[in-house]
Every structure is written in C-alpha cells, then in structure tokens.
Chain A
Amino acid sequence: MRISHLRTRLCRVVVAAAVLIAAAVSAQEGHPLAGTWYGDYTTGKQATDITVIMKWDGKSITGSINPGPNSKPLTSVVMDITPGKPAPQGQQSTSGTPPVFKVRFDVDGITFDGTLKNPVAGNRQLTGTWKRGNQSGTFHIRRV
C-alpha cells in the first residue's frame, strides 16, 4: 500500500518535471496567445483536461482544442486589450498601469472567456469561465 503511494507520488513528480522542461524548451516571446496551452475546465467538482493550440498569422488567431481524432477547431478567437498607462516621467516604470488582455474563444458551441495572467511571461496563464447553453464552469490553462 505504502509502495503504491510512493509510486503515485513519484509519478506526479515526474509529470511535473516533464511539464516544467517542456515549458522551458518552448517558452515563446511573440504573440501572447500563440502556442500550446494546457489545463482544465470544471463542471461542478469535475475537472477535465483540455489542450488548446493557437496560431497567429499576423491578422487573426486560429486554432483547435485537444489535438487528435476528436479535435475541434476554434471558431472564433478575440483578444481585447485595455491599454495600460505609462509611469509618469521620472518615476519607476512599475508605477504605470499594465495593460489588460481579455480573451474570448468559441469551440464546439462553448464560449470561453478569460483574462491573461503574466501575459509577457513564458508560462502565461489564461483563467476564466466557460458557458454552453445553461451549463457553465471555470477554466484554467497555462502556456507550455
């Protein structure tokens, strides 16, 4: 029983290390949405894994979820930016107001609405809510 528990913990450590290495290898500095995102969405207490792939061609963002035989294309992706305010002259740049990146994407009748956290970091995250008809929940994905 104890060995099984240790194995489970070891597996978790290995998976976490793999995710970290993958993130380090593929950290990108271009368009904030471009890349592969991994996380989950919740329905009540149930969390379901989700992988989102987004591409930026200079004009629009396209992509899909869960690559493989059951992949679905993103039918719409919109990023709304509320501009920040630069720091007043002579003050630390950190006293400025950072821009806010809101993202909405639709896939298979589901609308995801979220906000980018750490938008210029390699490990940026997108967190928000999803809605399909009268169903709804939260989601959280991280760029890997």
Chain B
Amino acid sequence: MKTRSTKLPPEGGSHRLNSAAAITASVALAIVVGASGVFAQAGGGAAAGQGAAAGQGAAAGQGAAAGQGRAAGGGAQGRGGGQGRGGQGRGAAAPSLPTPRWPDGKPILGSVPGQPVGGWGAGVTTLPQGQFEKIPFQPWARAVYDMRQIDQFEPHTRCKASGVSRQFSTPYGTEFVEAPDLQRLYIMDNGGPNSYRIIYLDGRSFPENIPPTNYGYSIGHWDGDTLVVETRGLNEKFWMDTRGTPHTAQLKFTERITRSDMNTLRYQATIDDPGAYTAPWTTTDFTLRWRPGDELFEYICQQANQGPTLMIGSQDEVDNTRFFVP
C-alpha cells in the first residue's frame, strides 16, 4: 500500500537531483544570502532538502554561478531534512593557478599551507559513465545494477561509510588532509558518517588477511604527478557510486588522482573484481573542481535524515510499509 506520495526529480530520487533543480536551488540560496546577509531558513531548507536527503546536495553548490552558496543549512528542514549548505559555485571560475607543490616537488592534493582551506566538489557519480555497454558485468551484477536503478537502498543514505570512489560524490565535498610527516593522506567526505579513509604512503605492503571494512586498506604511491592508490580489504556493505555499480569483497580498487592545476583534480579508477566482473575495467576521467573556502563542518547524517524513506520504493511514491534494514 502506498501511503504517501512525493514529487521527486526524475532519474533516481533526490540524490539524482537534476541540474535545473540544482541551479534553481543554488541561485535561490545565493539570492537569499546575498540580499539579506543572513541565512534564511527557507533558503537553507530548499537546498538541504533537495540535496541532503540522498547525497547529492553538492549539486546545489556547484550550480551556483555567484559562488555565494554557503548557506549554512543548520536547522534546515526541507524535504530532505538534511543539514545542508551550498558549496562554492563551480561557476565562479577563478584564474587557474599551477598545481601547488610541497617543498619536495610532490603535488599538494588538498589545501595549501598558509592559504584558506578548501575542498573538492562532488564529481564521481557513475563509474560506468560514458561506456556502460562496455562494462564486463557478470550477469548477476548487471541484473543487480538494473534493479538498483529502480529500487534504491543505498547504504550511504542511511549514514553508512561508503568507500573508494563514493567518497568523491558526497553532498558537501571531499577534503584531502595530507600529513607528510606521517606519510599518510586522509580523505574526508562531508555528508557522510563523519569518518575518513587513510591512505598509507610509507611504502608498506598489504597485510595478509585484511579484515573487510567499508573503507578498506589503502596504499598509495606517486607515479610522476599522479597519486596511485590501491585499496583492498573492502566489504560489501556500501555502494561504490551513487548508481549502485555492484562489487564484491574480492574487489581491488585502484585510483589515479592527479591535480592538474590549482582548481582541477582528475580522477580515474580501475575496478578489478572477479566476483562481479569478467575482467578488470577502467573508468573514464572524472573532473573535480576546487572549492576555495569550503571547509568541512559538523555533519550529523543521522539527524533529521529522511533519505532512507525517500529511497525506499519507487522514486515518485514512497512505500512506507516495507520492512527497513539500516
């Protein structure tokens, strides 16, 4: 029995916010913030409600041409009920400076010491993008992928840590925190469950019998200006992207991350998972944009989170009768 009806954007619920809606929300935010200088709840609610519900709120920020989208949505109780804020507008194209570097010449992937912090906007939403028919799905994996386009139970919307590429499509961006002395890099995705992934850069090898986890065990090395990160020891409790591209615990996930200039991060991944695919495959290049001043903030995913409800059942009607497993 369908007990409630909502009008969600086409193409997969609120976390597939279409660009028009995103721009509308962002512009609304920019106007609210710019005109009044205060964070009007109505504006915050609009953005957060659209975005936070299911994980694509960053779209709102990216659509804001004026770059004034930081609408501190604390208390926003829009449809999505998240704690949203818009990000810096992608349209605010600052002149592109060269890739910042550490004294040893390696690229800085995150904020530059001595300069305002920033983060990367969401940019990796669909791993098979642009080559879907070439993806060597095993039959079950293809069927699961198809099924997930209809019935979305993405763990991320239920505040579950979601590793590898899913860290780069969270609502409010992703921050790299580099600790050269520790030879580690931390990847923090806001809009998730307040957690982070560690990438070890100290030359270690993978341990044997890695206990499977949501973020897995990541080891990186530099290939020229590209950081190559291999992750193993992943469990099956998350999706790799917002579209539900399947994987199993046999997954070895290799990322190639290149900051080609100050404002641009190129991202490519190779999926080697004999449990779900008949051969390894590599994504096309994704581009993430630098959002200066975009600092991580406290995001309590569980608070007023209506994402799970929106993600159960079809996308234009909510089925509240179904048993729900977090």
**Closest Cβ–Cβ distance, residue B213 to chain A (whole Å):** 14
Given that A29-B155, A29-B239, A30-B236 are known contacts, is A86 also in contact with B149, CB under 8 Å in the complex?
yes
Q: Is B143 an interface residue (CB 8 A)?
A: yes
**Closest Cβ–Cβ distance, residue B57 to chain A (whole Å):** 21
Residue in contact with A121 in the complex, picked from B149, B247, B250, B325, CB distance below 8 Å: B325
A56 to B247: give the CA distance in the assembly, Å.
Answer: 12
Q: Is A76 an interface residue (CB 8 A)?
A: no
Query: When the two chains form their complex, are residues B153 and A122 in contact, meaning their CB atoms are under 8 A apart?
Result: yes
The 0/1 profile, CB within 8 Å of B marked 1, for residues 57-74 of chain A is 110000000000000000
Q: Which residue of B lies closest to A119 (CB)?
A: B147
Query: When the two chains form their complex, are residues B314 and A120 in contact, meaning their CB atoms are under 8 A apart?
Result: no
**Interface of chain A residues 94 through 131 with chain B (CB within 8 A):** 94, 96, 98-99, 101, 118-123
Query: When the two chains form their complex, are residues B275 and A83 in contact, meaning their CB atoms are under 8 A apart?
Result: no
The 0/1 profile, CB within 8 Å of A marked 1, for residues 283-326 of chain B is 00000000000000000000000000000001110000011011
Query: When the two chains form their complex, are residues B143 and A29 in contact, meaning their CB atoms are under 8 A apart?
Result: no
Q: Is A53 an interface residue (CB 8 A)?
A: no
Given that A23-B325, A30-B249, A81-B139 are known contacts, is A118 also in contact with B236, CB under 8 Å in the complex?
no
Chief secondary structure at chain B's binding surface: loop
Query: When the two chains form their complex, are residues A120 and B250 in contact, meaning their CB atoms are under 8 A apart?
Result: no
Query: When the two chains form their complex, are residues A122 and B325 in contact, meaning their CB atoms are under 8 A apart?
Result: yes
Contacts of A94 in B (CB 8 A): 150, 314-316
Given that A98-B151, A121-B151 are known contacts, is A30 also in contact with B146, CB under 8 Å in the complex?
no
* Interface size band for B: 35 or more
Query: When the two chains form their complex, are residues B150 and A96 in contact, meaning their CB atoms are under 8 A apart?
Result: yes
A121 to B149: give the CA distance in the assembly, Å.
Answer: 13
Query: When the two chains form their complex, are residues B325 and A27 in contact, meaning their CB atoms are under 8 A apart?
Result: yes
A73 to B246: give the CA distance in the assembly, Å.
Answer: 28
The 0/1 profile, CB within 8 Å of A marked 1, for residues 253-284 of chain B is 00000000000000000000011100000000
Residue in contact with A27 in the complex, picked from B237, B246, B249, B276, CB distance below 8 Å: B237
Q: Is A93 an interface residue (CB 8 A)?
A: yes
Q: Is A133 an interface residue (CB 8 A)?
A: no
A92 to B317: give the CA distance in the assembly, Å.
Answer: 11
A94 to B11: give the CA distance in the assembly, Å.
Answer: 9
**Closest Cβ–Cβ distance, residue A49 to chain B (whole Å):** 20
Query: When the two chains form their complex, are residues A120 and B236 in contact, meaning their CB atoms are under 8 A apart?
Result: no
A90 to B149: give the CA distance in the assembly, Å.
Answer: 14
| Most chain B beta carbons < 10 A, residue from A30, A31, A101 | A30
Contacts of B274 in A (CB 8 A): 58
**Interface of chain A residues 31 through 75 with chain B (CB within 8 A):** 31-32, 34, 56-58
Q: Is A28 an interface residue (CB 8 A)?
A: yes
Q: Which residue of A lies closest to B323 (CB)?
A: A123
Q: Which residues on B are within 8 Å of A, measured CB to CB?
A: 10-12, 138-140, 142-144, 146-151, 153, 155, 235-239, 244, 246-250, 274-276, 314-316, 322-323, 325-326
28 A-B pairs with CB atoms under 8 Å apart are A24-B325, A28-B237, A29-B155, A30-B236, A30-B247, A30-B248, A31-B275, A32-B140, A34-B248, A83-B142, A83-B146, A84-B143, A86-B149, A91-B10, A92-B10, A93-B10, A93-B315, A94-B314, A94-B315, A96-B150, A98-B150, A99-B143, A99-B147, A101-B143, A119-B144, A120-B147, A120-B148, A123-B323
The 6 closest A-B CB pairs, nearest first, are A30-B236, A94-B314, A99-B143, A122-B325, A58-B275, A30-B248
